[in-house]
Chains A and B, each alone.
Chain A
Amino acid sequence: MKKLPLSKSVCMKPAGAPKRGERNDTRRLTAIAFLVAVALVVSLIESALPSFPLAPGAKLGLSNIAPLFALIMLGVGDAYAVMILKCLLGATLGGGLTGLMYSVPSGLVSLTVEIVLMKLVFDKMSVAGISLVGAVAFNAMQVLMASAITGVDLVILLPILMAAGLLAGAFTGLLTYYIVKKLPYSVYGSAVG
């Protein structure tokens, strides 16, 4: 992977002097905004659906396709940008501040795990495999954060949510893989090229 200007510089970009072509940055920014928007819509639809009976808070987590997709298509910095924006805007739209306290650290941990695996073992491990490890990490982290913040011992949910993460992560990873596989160059070339 080539070293890229971090997304931070894109998001907080003052009006002037981007190092790369302005056209490119605009398209990347558009791609990030698009991914975050899709993630939010998917989250909203998911939160309207009933949750699993035995695992409160367990979702299929389809919106986690967005950061993973950004990691593959755009790069590390942009993936973090998508993850953080998704969490922040998600909290504004519904989750509330407490949701933010669980979701941001969990999201960062899970994305970092995915990035490390992607760098070290990708090819030997598939996108789906990396995604499921990330999802298990996300859910485990969320239970631990929730236990720490609320002071209620929720550890009993740990194995249930880890198992849910394993299945959901494999599913979203596979979905991301097939989207990337089927996506023609004419679509992504302009955003990444």
Chain B
Amino acid sequence: MNLETVKRVKKSKPFTVIDAVIVAVLAALIGVISWLVFRAPSAETVVITENGVSHEYSLGKNAEIKLEHMTVHIKDGYVWVTDSDCRDGTCEHTGKISRAGQSIVCLPNNFVITINGKGDLDWELGRQ
């Protein structure tokens, strides 16, 4: 009773141009979703320790923290340091960190920034 459809399928091509367009659109969608999912500001926190004293900030909340020796930027899940008055500049050269476990260290100022994460991706996937 569905002979018409069967005939059309038999005559059709295995792949078409529209398929390619749809695949491209889906791939882009998957890309955007992965970006959103993997960038999500889960439960990660930024711990700034200066001379043994710690302060905690949320990685998901943008902030510009002006400190005595430097400025710490938290923006869109990334953390970095500018305007450091240290001699070596290692802390600024570390660049942007974004993943749990990464840290920025400034030895001259006895200063450490670490990202702590409960929502660490590797851990999340490893657990499955």
- Whether A72 pairs with B15 at a CB distance below 8 angstroms is no
Instruction: Please report A residues at the B interface, Cβ cutoff 8 Å.
Output: 1-2, 4, 24, 54, 56, 72-75, 118, 121-129, 132-133, 136, 155-156, 158-159, 162-163, 166, 170, 174, 177-178, 180-181, 188, 192-193
Collect the chain B residues with CB atoms within 8 Å of residue A159's CB.
30-31, 33-34, 37
Partner of B37, one of A24, A155, A180: A155
Beta-carbon contacts under 8 Å, B25-51 to A: 26-27, 29-31, 33-34, 37-38
Nearest 3 pairs of A and B residues by beta carbon:
A129-B19, A159-B34, A159-B33
Question: What would be 6 A-B contacts, judged by CB atoms less than 8 Å apart?
Answer: A2-B4, A73-B5, A75-B2, A126-B19, A128-B15, A133-B22
Collect the chain A residues with CB atoms within 8 Å of residue B15's CB.
126, 128-129, 174
- Whether B30 pairs with A166 at a CB distance below 8 angstroms is yes
Question: Is B124 at the interface (CB under 8 A from chain A)?
Answer: yes
- Whether A156 pairs with B37 at a CB distance below 8 angstroms is yes
Collect the chain B residues with CB atoms within 8 Å of residue A125's CB.
16, 18-19, 22
Q: Quick one: given A123-B8, A127-B9, are A73 and B37 in contact (CB under 8 Å)?
A: no
Collect the chain A residues with CB atoms within 8 Å of residue B128's CB.
56
- Whether B6 pairs with A121 at a CB distance below 8 angstroms is no
- Whether A121 pairs with B14 at a CB distance below 8 angstroms is no
A1–B121 CA distance with the chains assembled, in angstroms: 48
Of A75, A127, A170, A188, most buried by chain B (CB within 10 Å of CB) is A127
A57 to chain B, nearest CB (A): 9
Collect the chain A residues with CB atoms within 8 Å of residue B13's CB.
126
Assuming A126-B13, A126-B19, what are 18 further A-B pairs, CB within 8 angstroms? A2-B2, A2-B4, A54-B125, A72-B6, A74-B2, A75-B2, A75-B5, A123-B12, A127-B12, A128-B15, A128-B19, A129-B23, A132-B26, A156-B37, A158-B37, A162-B33, A163-B27, A174-B14
Q: Quick one: given A73-B6, A192-B2, are A126 and B30 in contact (CB under 8 Å)?
A: no
- Whether A156 pairs with B19 at a CB distance below 8 angstroms is no
Collect the chain B residues with CB atoms within 8 Å of residue A129's CB.
15-16, 18-19, 22-23
B8 to chain A, nearest CB (A): 7
Question: Is B87 at the interface (CB under 8 A from chain A)?
Answer: no
Collect the chain A residues with CB atoms within 8 Å of residue B8's CB.
122-123
Collect the chain A residues with CB atoms within 8 Å of residue B4's CB.
1-2
Collect the chain B residues with CB atoms within 8 Å of residue A72's CB.
2, 5-6, 9
B66 to chain A, nearest CB (A): 35
A167–B28 CA distance with the chains assembled, in angstroms: 15
B65 to chain A, nearest CB (A): 29
